[in-house]
Amino acid sequence: MAHQWRGVIREYLDRLPFEASDPVVTLGEGGTPLIEAPALAKLLGVGSVHLKFEGMNPTGSFKDRGMTTAVSKAKAKGAQAVIAASTGNTSASAAAYAVKAGMQSVVLVPAGKISWGKLSQAVAHKAQILQVKGNFDDCLRIARDLSENYPVFLVNSVNPDRLQGQKTASFEVVDVLGQAPDLHAMPLGNAGNISAYHLGYKEELAEGRIKAMPRLFGIQAEGSAPFIKGSPVEKPETIATAIRIGNPASWDLAQAAKAETQGGFGAVSDREILWMHRFLSQEAGVFVEPSSATGAAGLYKLSQQGELPKADTVVITVTGHGLKDPDWALKDQSGRKIKPKRVSATAGAVADLLGLERK
């Protein structure tokens, strides 16, 4: 019989803090494709580029990897309700996994700064959604307070169970490539993801499955770049809402990921993000939400500045699916709305419009 991927806890049971008898709440997350992108390799001037397409997870972002572990642990502790602060994808994921676990979910989102696609997921999975009059950092502060003082279980990435699940993405990269890439880039927001990849690769090194660590690069949006500034940003601004975070929770872990791998941090403008968002759709066949194009946009910027380290194999994590926030694809480069042409219902009229000659 064909084998179905069993989700990251069962696939990597011996690498996670779980016993075979522990409750597992899964929607089959992980096992996402690593897609070679020759057009991007050419653009960057490197040997090969592979996109780790995390939009292929059950709720459309990498957050599911950490949600399966966090909600499974919450279930083992008898939790009735989970709470998350979110720019959108954590709430979508928390809501779905709470349904699977038979729990309530409460999500705190910044007022007006969450995409409709993500909000619709939280609504669909009957989360109690509260729009906080503040930004993501305010939401996280409140969620932490509530989880300490009320009977709700925090499933943000400050919960160490989240990073355990998320580290499996580096295992999958090594499983496919048979080695670590020379360089691995991703968008950088609250910094849970880069910390989790670092943890995963360190374990691969300790197990002898890779010979050297990849250089880890985290890329921010210019208007929301505390790691470039060196201190928190009071009022983060960017169209890349998933990384619109001024006070990253995993600050020290991200600094260690950079320092211990000779990696780097970078920042790109919203314009550069949207340019790469389009490039990935049109040249790689991979449709991501704008935030997810940030890692590739950052490497492109470094290559243009002549500062991209020499690399044979590059992996770039694209974190979430394009259908989360599709409006950006429906605008042309000057911001005008793109509408399909209307045509009469005959083959001749369609052929004329397409400029086709009869055979």
Ligand X SMILES: *Cc1c(COP(=O)(O)O)cnc(C)c1O
- CB of residue 75 to ligand X, shortest distance in Å: 23
Site for ligand X in 269-298 (CB under 6 A): 289, 291-292
Using the minimum distance from each CB to ligand X, give the nearer residue, 84 or 188.
Answer: 188
- CB of residue 12 to ligand X, shortest distance in Å: 19
Contact 219, 187 (CB under 8 A): yes
* 41 three-class SS: helix
List the one residue from 32, 115, 190, 261 that touches ligand X (CB under 6 A). Answer: 190
Using the minimum distance from each CB to ligand X, give the nearer residue, 102 or 236.
Answer: 236
Which residues does 250 contact at the CB level (< 8 Å), separation at least 6? 157, 158, 190, 191, 192, 194, 195
| Site of tokens 């992108």 | 37
In this structure, the strands spanning 104-110 and 183-187 are: unpaired
> In angstroms, rounded to a whole number, what is the distance separating the alpha carbons of residues 60 and 120?
13
188 interacts with ligand X by CB under 6 A: yes
Using the minimum distance from each CB to ligand X, give the nearer residue, 6 or 144.
Answer: 144
Cα dihedral sign, 110-115-121-123: positive
> In angstroms, rounded to a whole number, what is the distance separating the alpha carbons of residues 44 and 306?
10
Site for ligand X in 192-211 (CB under 6 A): 192-193
Using the minimum distance from each CB to ligand X, give the nearer residue, 13 or 107.
Answer: 107
Using the minimum distance from each CB to ligand X, give the nearer residue, 156 or 349.
Answer: 156
Query: Which helix (H) or strand (E) is 157 found in, with range?
Result: none
- 87 CA to centre of own chain: 12
Q: Which residue is nearest to ligand X (CB)?
A: 320
170 interacts with ligand X by CB under 6 A: no
Site for ligand X in 95-154 (CB under 6 A): none
Using the minimum distance from each CB to ligand X, give the nearer residue, 13 or 164.
Answer: 164
> In angstroms, rounded to a whole number, what is the distance separating the alpha carbons of residues 144 and 85?
9
Site for ligand X in 212-271 (CB under 6 A): 242-243
Cα dihedral sign, 330-93-99-137: negative
58 interacts with ligand X by CB under 6 A: no
- CB of residue 156 to ligand X, shortest distance in Å: 9
93 interacts with ligand X by CB under 6 A: no
Using the minimum distance from each CB to ligand X, give the nearer residue, 89 or 247.
Answer: 89
Structure tokens of 6?
């069993």
* 137 three-class SS: helix
Contact 195, 163 (CB under 8 A): yes
As beta bridge partners, residue 105 has 82
List the one residue from 58, 110, 117, 187 that touches ligand X (CB under 6 A). Answer: 187
Interacting residue ranges for ligand X, rule: CB under 6 A: 61, 63, 89, 157, 187-193, 242-243, 289, 291-292, 319-320
